[in-house]
């Protein structure tokens, strides 16, 4: 086949593939519940919609500077000062078509072939594939205790002379845990000692519960933005429910931003102008929207963890952030892909197999949807798997009887 070996080795994003599968089932009239989806249900903030619409109405929709429109970069600079207590210059900011593109752009700009990137399991599905796409080598560090919190000794053991970077995502997709201040401080110190980049994927940084706080990496370095190797990634997708705007950004030293800008100029030229203006509207508008989303999600989290607590044999670490949890279903099936398929077939519930995140035996459930979807979804899963649950259930208007136990 005349297709590149590397391209052929890249797996499809399993979450996007599941979105498509759920959409097709819904189109066929099936009463699917989607607990796989990584996006909140709320409408985009009004300030984002009005700003984007006003820009669109001008009819003047042209290329923008590659690194982003100056007014959005200014809003990002202010956001960084307010949330990270760091004054950065516009030249430290590059806007991309989503945090996903920011991360790819960073990896492409720092990696030489065969450079290693440490990824902490459980990890976001795209990291290893992106590293491979940049001819790098993903090095996965899995906590030996089977938990979700990385240990410094385990990370340190994975560092080699080829290590170029470590990616740290807290609050964490898929586990929902928030790493401690100590952990972040230790990773920052390790990176500084070894001269490696720390890519801090902060896309969920304000979606935290029970008064928790996601410690920002930049707080633990005394170096200024030009000399630190910490790169911060953020965006409007998750906190403002603006996944379809596709606006994210990276904060890094000016030299790296310049290189990333050259790279981006050869790929997408720039993010879409009216979507950039929309993101600016969200960042400059009332921030109560983020808090109300956080409260809704926290309530969903409470319900989902309570329901999972009453699921025979399932163990769930209570998430402190994001809109995901990663319960252990190995009592039912160690093969998470098979289990996820079974749940889709029997109960019409979409879940994401833990294997995709480097945690076999687990399933990632999203509680970003409506409370009804969350409760009905878990009830259906119980019906499909848990012999202690009622034998009958309604799926849509169909009464279903469990006959396989
Ligand atoms: N990082 C993590 C950990 C994510 O979960 C996601 C989205 N699922 C992204 C980055 C990418 O977000 P964006 O929509 O801004 O590309």
Tokens matching residue 156: 């340190």
Query: What residue ranges line ligand 1, CB within 6 angstroms?
Result: 38, 98-100, 124, 169, 173, 201, 203, 235, 237, 243, 248
Mean pLDDT of the region 301-320: 97
138 phi and psi angles, rounded to 5 deg: -75, 130
Mean pLDDT value across residues 117-140: 97
Mean pLDDT of 219-245: 97
Atom of ligand 1 nearest to the CA of 169: 3
Of residues 249 and 1, which shows the higher confidence score? 249
User: For the segment 129-177, what is each residue's pLDDT rounded down to a tens digit?
Assistant: 999 999 999 999 999 999 999 999 999 999 999 999 999 999 999 999 9
Tokens of 185: 């401080």
231 — pLDDT class (breaks 50, 70, 90): very high
Q: Are 169 and 141 in contact (CB under 8 A)?
A: no
In the predicted structure, residue 1 carries a pLDDT above the cut 80: no
Instruction: Spell out the residues 6+ positions from residue 295 whose beta carbon is closer than 8 angstroms to its own.
Output: none
In the chain, the percentage of residues whose pLDDT exceeds 70 is 100
Best probe residue, ligand 1, of 126, 204, 234, 322 (max atoms within 8 Å of C-beta): 126
The pLDDT of residue 37: 84
Q: How far is the CA of 99 from the centre of ligand 1 (A)?
A: 6
Probe target for ligand 1 pocket from 203, 244, 297, 322, with the most ligand atoms within 8 Å of CB: 203
Q: How far is the CA of 393 from the centre of ligand 1 (A)?
A: 35
With the most atoms of ligand 1 within 8 angstroms of its CB, the residue from 124, 125, 129, 271 to mutate is 124
The H or E element spanning position 233 is strand 230-235
240 near 205, Cβ under 8 Å?
Answer: no
Q: Are 367 and 39 in contact (CB under 8 A)?
A: no
Cα of 79 vs centre of ligand 1, distance in Å, is 18
Two tokens, residue 346: 């029997």
Q: How far is the CA of 203 from the centre of ligand 1 (A)?
A: 6
The pLDDT assigned to 34 comes to 92
When pLDDT is averaged across residues 29-47 and rounded to a whole number, the result is 92
pLDDT, the chain, mean: 96
- Structure confidence at residue 338 (pLDDT): 93
The 10s digit of each residue's pLDDT in 359-392 is 999 999 999 999 999 999 999 999 999 999 999 9
Provide, rounded to the nearest whole percent, the portion of the chain with pLDDT above 90: 93
Q: What single-letter DSSP state applies at residue 251?
A: E
What pLDDT does 405 receive?
78
Write the DSSP symbol of residue 97: S
In angstroms, rounded to a whole number, what is the distance separating the alpha carbons of residues 236 and 214? 17
C-alpha 386/C-alpha 233 separation (Å) is: 40
Residue 283: DSSP 8-state:
H
pLDDT of residue 396: 86
**pLDDT tens for each residue of 64-82:** 999 999 999 999 999 999 9
Question: 19 pLDDT band (50/70/90 cuts)?
Answer: confident
| Segment 51-68 mean pLDDT | 98
Name the residue at shortest CA distance from atom 5 of ligand 1. 173
Ligand 1 centroid vs 234 CA: distance in angstroms?
9
pLDDT band at 108 (very low <50, low <70, confident <90, very high): very high
Q: What is the mean pLDDT of residues 327-350?
A: 95
Predicted TM-score (pTM) of the model is: 0.96
In contact, 145 and 114? CB cutoff 8 Å? no
Task: Using the atom order of ligand 1, give the atom closest to the CA of residue 124.
Answer: 3
Q: How far is the CA of 19 from the centre of ligand 1 (A)?
A: 15
CA of 359 to the centre of ligand 1 (A): 19
Q: What is the mean pLDDT of residues 296-312?
A: 97
pLDDT of residue 178: 98
Query: What spacing in Å lies between the alpha carbon of 5 and ligand 1's midpoint?
Result: 26
Helices (H), 114-224: 126-133, 152-158, 181-194
Report which protein residue has its CA nearest ligand 1's atom 12: 99
Q: How confident is the model at residue 332 (pLDDT cuts 50, 70, 90)?
A: very high
Q: Whose CA is nearest to atom 8 of ligand 1?
A: 38
């Amino acid at each position: 086949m005349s297709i590149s070996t590397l391209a052929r080795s890249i797996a499809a994003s399993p979450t996007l593939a599941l979105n498509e599968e759920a959409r097709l089932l819904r189109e066929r009239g099936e009463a699917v519940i989607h607990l796989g989806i990584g996006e909140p249900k709320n409408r985009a903030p009004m300030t984002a919609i009005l700003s984007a619409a006003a820009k669109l109405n001008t009819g003047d929709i042209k290329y923008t500077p590659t690194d982003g429109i100056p007014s959005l970069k200014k809003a990002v600079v202010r956001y960084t000062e307010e949330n990270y207590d760091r004054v950065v210059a516009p030249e430290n900011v590059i806007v991309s078509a989503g945090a996903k593109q920011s991360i790819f752009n960073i990896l492409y700009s720092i990696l030489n072939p065969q450079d290693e990137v440490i990824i902490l399991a459980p990890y976001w599905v795209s990291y290893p594939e992106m590293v491979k796409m940049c001819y790098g080598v993903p090095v996965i560090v899995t906590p030996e205790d089977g938990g979700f919190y990385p240990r410094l000794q385990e990370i340190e053991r994975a560092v080699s002379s080829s290590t170029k970077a470590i990616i740290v995502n807290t609050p964490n997709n898929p586990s929902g845990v928030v790493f401690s201040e100590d952990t972040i401080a230790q990773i920052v110190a390790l990176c500084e000692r070894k001269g490696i980049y720390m890519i801090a994927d902060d896309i969920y940084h304000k979606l935290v519960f029970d008064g928790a706080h996601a410690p920002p990496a930049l707080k633990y370095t005394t170096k200024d933005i030009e000399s630190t190797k910490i790169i911060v990634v953020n965006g409007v997708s998750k906190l403002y429910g603006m996944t379809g705007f596709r606006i994210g950004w990276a904060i890094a030293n000016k030299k790296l931003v310049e290189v990333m800008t050259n790279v981006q100029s050869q790929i997408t030229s720039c993010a879409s102008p009216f979507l950039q203006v929309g993101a600016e509207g969200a960042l400059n508008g009332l921030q109560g929207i983020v808090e109300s989303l956080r409260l809704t999600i926290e309530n969903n989290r409470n319900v989902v963890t309570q329901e999972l607590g009453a699921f025979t044999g399932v163990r769930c670490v209570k998430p402190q952030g994001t809109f995901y949890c990663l319960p252990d279903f190995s009592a039912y099936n160690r093969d998470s892909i098979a289990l996820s398929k079974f749940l889709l077939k029997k109960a019409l519930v979409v879940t994401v197999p833990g294997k995709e995140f480097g945690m076999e035996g687990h399933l990632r459930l999203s509680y970003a949807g409506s409370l009804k979807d969350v409760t009905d979804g878990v009830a259906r899963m119980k019906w499909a798997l848990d012999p202690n649950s009622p034998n009958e259930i309604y799926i849509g208007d169909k009464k279903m009887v469990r006959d396989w136990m």
